[in-house]
Amino acid sequence: MRRVAAAAARRGGQAVLVAVTVGALSFLLVHLLPGDIALRIAAGRYGYDLVSVQAAEAVRAELGLDRPVLVQFAEWLWRLGRLELGVSLVTGERVAAEIARQLGATLTLSFAALALSIPIGPALGVLMGLRPGGVLDRAGLAVASALRAVPSFVLGVALIILVSVELGALPAAGHGEVENIVLPAVTLALGLAAVSSRVAREAMAEVRAAPFFAFAETKGLTRRAVLWRHGLRNAAVPIVAFLGVQLVSLVEGVVVVESLFAWPGIGHALVHAVIARDVPMVQGTALVLGLIFVLLNAAVDLACLALDPRAGRR
């Protein structure tokens, strides 16, 4: 129990550090980007048909963008201290409310993708690892390499054309109904499974080559029993750690996939916020993503601790 508390405290400290660093970095980066920030915000608000220097000046005055950058940053920190994320410069809505809505959509999509990828990736990987160099292993390598090499955008368009346009089986885009999630989730899951199958295969192959595995077989246990009692748990530690990393890297794929499937998630919102120089939105989104990374790492730590108690004792 003490070990769990220590791990939690360590991650808690990290969370505060992440919050301040991410906030400062995103603030700095947005201000370093080329172009006049007031003009960009005005373009985001009114669309480029209506954007003019006059509109930009109105935005600058309204938001106090001509004040020193340090003053603006101190203001953000002060608000953050009171757990306020501020108001979006483009939509005028509270950042917290916008993120809550978009994060829900992104997490739903991410977990659906991860859930779909597990039976495809790690499960197949374990089977491949049991017979390294076998037909399944070699075919798996080819398919995984191909899937990993194809950008998720191309994979998504291919799935839309095949499943939605040709077969008419699933909606090509949108959200609000259950079937809307299938195509974006499959697009992401295939990319995830491509890598996680290889990690699982390596982990399983290593366990299979270990002396304890050979001993379990020698002492006469059935293959199934060997796999269940000695194989899976030992192979699971690197796989679980890797799945944690994958959830994090999902964000990268989510940005493109969300735009393609018109999914109202946080990746899509982040891209738009950066283009429109919506500083509070960028900061808030990056902050929430950063904290999720910390949270996921903590969860992975705890899961690995549960799978392999030796790690904590050392």
Q: Catalog residues that contact another protein under the rule CB under 8 A.
A: 34-36, 39-40, 42-56, 58, 90-93, 101, 157, 160-161, 164-165, 168, 171-176, 259-262, 264, 269, 272, 275
How far apart are CB 184 and another protein at their closest, in Å? 11
d(CA 274, CA 276): 5
**Gyration radius from the chain CA atoms:** 24
How far apart are CB 41 and another protein at their closest, in Å? 9
d(CA 109, CA 251): 10
Lookup result for tokens 């508390």:
5
How far apart are CB 30 and another protein at their closest, in Å? 13
Long-range interactions of 73-79: CB distance < 8 A, separation 24+: 73/24, 73/27, 76/23, 76/27, 76/279, 76/280, 76/283, 77/20, 77/23
Instruction: State which residue, 94 or 131, has the beta carbon closest to another protein.
Output: 94
Q: Which ranges of the chain does DSSP label H, i.e. alpha helix? A: 2-32, 37-46, 53-63, 69-81, 95-130, 135-149, 152-159, 182-209, 211-218, 223-226, 232-260, 266-275, 279-307, 310-313
Instruction: State which residue, 103 or 172, has the beta carbon closest to another protein.
Output: 172
Instruction: State which residue, 239 or 254, has the beta carbon closest to another protein.
Output: 254
Instruction: State which residue, 39 or 114, has the beta carbon closest to another protein.
Output: 39
How far apart are CB 192 and another protein at their closest, in Å? 22
Instruction: State which residue, 40 or 198, has the beta carbon closest to another protein.
Output: 40
How far apart are CB 181 and another protein at their closest, in Å? 14
Spell out the residues 6+ positions from residue 215 whose beta carbon is closer than 8 angstroms to its own.
Answer: none
Cβ distance 11 to 19 under 8 Å? no
Instruction: State which residue, 44 or 284, has the beta carbon closest to another protein.
Output: 44
d(CA 280, CA 291): 16
How far apart are CB 34 and another protein at their closest, in Å? 7
d(CA 77, CA 79): 5
Instruction: State which residue, 172 or 235, has the beta carbon closest to another protein.
Output: 172
Lookup result for tokens 């501020």:
86
How far apart are CB 285 and another protein at their closest, in Å? 14
